[in-house]
Structures are given as structure tokens and as C-alpha cells.
């Protein structure tokens, strides 16, 4: 009898291939809460935990696996994995993040 891969196994395989094919893969989440902002550089383990790189999966992952999000909350986030770019949900959050980076002298 033929055994087919589960959706979770298929997703894990796609993520592993993406990591393998792109050793310098940029993957991160920028987060804005009511009082603080921070960035998480995603590891291979984080990407496997997130599975499909979607806004819903990242929000769930932040609630379960991010100490900071549990402590400070998460109003909004911007996430990037390779050529996948999930924008801020609100323009206000993007402006807050960009304003803070400008104050620090970052581009």
C-alpha cells in the first residue's frame, strides 16, 4: 500500500528544501507591542515550528514560542522569509517601526 506524505510532512519538506537551497536565507519577524519593539531572527527550528509562512501561523507561533510576545504582547508584526514578505497589518505599525529605526540611525 502506498503511503502519502501528510500536509505537515509536505510543509516540513518544503521548508527544509528552502533552507537547504538558500544557505543565506533571511528570515525574521519585526514586532510592535504597546510599549516595546523587537526583531526575532528566525532559526531553522523556528521556521519548522511555524510551518507554512502565513500571518496566521506566525501569530500562533509568537503566542506559543516567543517569550517577549508573551510578556509584552504583540500588536502587529512584519515577517520575511526569503522572497516571502508579510507586511504590517496597519500603516501605523509600519510608521512606528520605521520611526524607531530612523531615531537609531538604521536604514
What is the mean predicted confidence (pLDDT) over 46-58?
90
- For residue 42, being part of any structural domain is answered with yes
Report in angstroms the alpha-carbon separations of 79 from 1, 30, 86: 41, 6, 5
Please give the model's pTM, rounded to 2 decimal places.
0.74
- For residue 1, being part of any structural domain is answered with no
- For residue 66, being part of any structural domain is answered with yes
pLDDT 10s digits, 2-44: 555 455 555 556 666 776 777 678 899 999 988 889 899 998 8
pLDDT at 22: 74
Q: Which domain holds residue 41?
A: 7-103
| Total count of domains within the chain | 1
- For residue 94, being part of any structural domain is answered with yes
pLDDT 10s digits, 55-106: 999 999 998 877 777 677 788 999 999 888 999 999 999 999 988 777 666 6
Radius of gyration over alpha carbons of the chain, in Å? 16
> Apex CA 62: angle with CA 58 and CA 66, to 5°?
145
- For residue 67, being part of any structural domain is answered with yes
In what helix (H) or strand (E) does residue 32 lie, and over which residues does it extend?
strand 27-32
Amino acid at each position: 500500500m502506498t503511503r502519502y506524505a501528510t500536509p505537515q510532512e509536505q510543509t516540513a519538506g518544503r521548508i527544509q528544501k528552502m533552507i537547504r537551497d538558500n544557505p543565506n536565507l533571511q528570515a525574521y519577524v519585526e514586532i510592535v507591542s504597546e510599549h516595546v519593539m523587537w526583531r526575532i531572527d528566525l532559526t531553522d527550528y523556528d521556521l519548522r515550528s511555524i510551518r507554512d509562512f502565513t500571518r496566521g501561523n506566525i501569530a500562533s507561533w509568537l503566542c506559543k514560542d516567543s517569550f517577549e510576545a508573551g510578556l509584552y504582547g504583540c500588536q502587529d508584526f512584519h515577517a520575511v522569509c526569503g522572497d516571502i514578505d508579510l507586511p504590517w497589518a496597519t500603516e501605523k505599525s509600519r510608521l512606528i517601526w520605521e520611526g524607531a529605526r530612523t531615531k537609531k540611525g538604521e536604514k
